[in-house]
Amino acid sequence: MRNNQAMTPHRVAVLALDRVVGLDLGTPAQVFSTARDADNAHYYAVDTCTPGARPVRSSAGFRVLPDHGLELLERADTVVVPGVHGDATLAPVEPEVIEALRAAYHRGVRIMSICTGAFVLAAAGLLDGRRATTHWAYADRFCRLHPHVDLDPDVLFVADDRVLTSAGVAAGIDLCLHVVRTDHGSQVANQAARRCVMPPWRDGGQAQYIERPVPQAPDTSTAGAREWARQRLHEPVSLRELAGQARMSVRTFTRRFRAETGLSPAQWLLHERTDHARLLLESTDLSVDQIARRSGFGTTAALRQQLHQRIGVAPSAYRRAFRRG
């Protein structure tokens, strides 16, 4: 999905349906418009469409007046379906919408959904046999309506080949930043995240946001320990040291860490080291062996194994694909 900088911007079509979620609708234009090259030229062009170019209601009490109908999908490189609110997830999807989405997919277009937009993709049959996600509060309904989809309600987003789905609301930002990172590398994605006043990558999944009967106390965050560890990725970091930074017992720290991030401390640390190694591969001339040491893996073999498990490529291949001059 990567574009040559001399080419026209990558065309993104946002398909708004009745009762569209307001934040979901604005997310693609906001995030993709902040992805720019060194000359401040936009990598993406975002337009909105509805069936028949008709106005649709939003969940926020305003109407969407689109400039395009479904014909916009015929010339799009990526199609994004924002979420629909409440009982709109139960409404039948118009046949012309299903036909347009299927035609776009079969043309090789990348298809994305935000939040309950996954219900629309599932109705079109684009999620059958695939792993996907949606807002955790709608997971049970989704599974009842679409049993042929492998739903994972714990993650922020899922990228399954050319079909990508995100969890609720703000997770659409995570998904769009992931797409920017995939298309143009971490440096562009990090710049886009800064313009959106967002972290380039959020720890854990949506499991940390699911309502629980026992609330967490506000003064028990493990954020300080996480930041301490980020400054020492090149060093051995033990669970006992992390717990000590948070002034907690190891048992209490482990429980609260998972509640806040959705990951165990060891999993989180592995993700941080992998992401740091990716950034060094993209932005420095360091050897792979040096990067393995600076990111805390110690050996090239350990880095190679983890990078392959995480994203399916070797360090040298990743550098060739994502290195920006």
Percentage of the chain modeled with pLDDT above 90: 64
Note the pTM of the prediction, 2 decimals: 0.67
Q: How far apart are CA 80 and CA 114, in angstroms?
A: 7
Q: What is the pLDDT of residues 59-74, one digit of tens each?
A: 989 999 999 999 999 9
- Which pair of structure tokens corresponds to residue 51? 């069936």
- Per-residue confidence (pLDDT) for residue 6, from 0 to 100: 54
> For residues 243 and 253, is the Cβ–Cβ distance under 8 A?
yes
What would the mean pLDDT of 216-228 be, rounded to a whole number?
73
Residue 128 confidence (pLDDT) above 90: yes
How far is residue 119 CA from its own chain's centroid?
18
Residue 293 confidence (pLDDT) above 90: yes
Long-range contacts of 65-71 (CB under 8 A, 24+ apart): 66/16, 68/13, 70/15, 70/96, 70/97, 70/100
Q: What is the pLDDT of residues 106-116, one digit of tens each?
A: 999 999 999 99
> Which one has a higher pLDDT value, 210 or 54?
54
Residue 49 confidence (pLDDT) above 90: yes
- Per-residue confidence (pLDDT) for residue 156, from 0 to 100: 87
> Quick one: pLDDT band at residue 313, thresholds 50, 70, 90?
confident
Contacts of 186 (CB under 8 A, 6+ apart): 200, 275, 278, 279, 282, 283, 322
- Which pair of structure tokens corresponds to residue 294? 């600076």
Name the amino acid, one letter, at 281.
L
- Which pair of structure tokens corresponds to residue 11? 């065309």
Count the residues in the chain: 325
Residue 84 is given by DSSP the state B
- Per-residue confidence (pLDDT) for residue 220, from 0 to 100: 54
> Which one has a higher pLDDT value, 313 or 87?
87
- Per-residue confidence (pLDDT) for residue 283, from 0 to 100: 84
What would the mean pLDDT of 259-286 be, rounded to a whole number?
88
> Quick one: pLDDT band at residue 1, thresholds 50, 70, 90?
very low
Find the range with the poorest average confidence among 56-65, 217-226, 272-281. 217-226
State how beta strands 78-81 and 63-64 pair.
Answer: unpaired
> 10 Å Cβ neighbour count for 146?
19
Whole-angstrom Cα Rg for the chain: 21
Strands (E), 108-207: 110-113, 131-132, 150-151, 157-160, 163-166
Q: How far apart are CA 102 and CA 108, in angstroms?
A: 10
The whole-chain average pLDDT of the chain stands at 88
- Per-residue confidence (pLDDT) for residue 259, from 0 to 100: 83
- Per-residue confidence (pLDDT) for residue 121, from 0 to 100: 98
Q: What is the pLDDT of residues 140-159, one digit of tens each?
A: 999 999 999 999 888 889 99
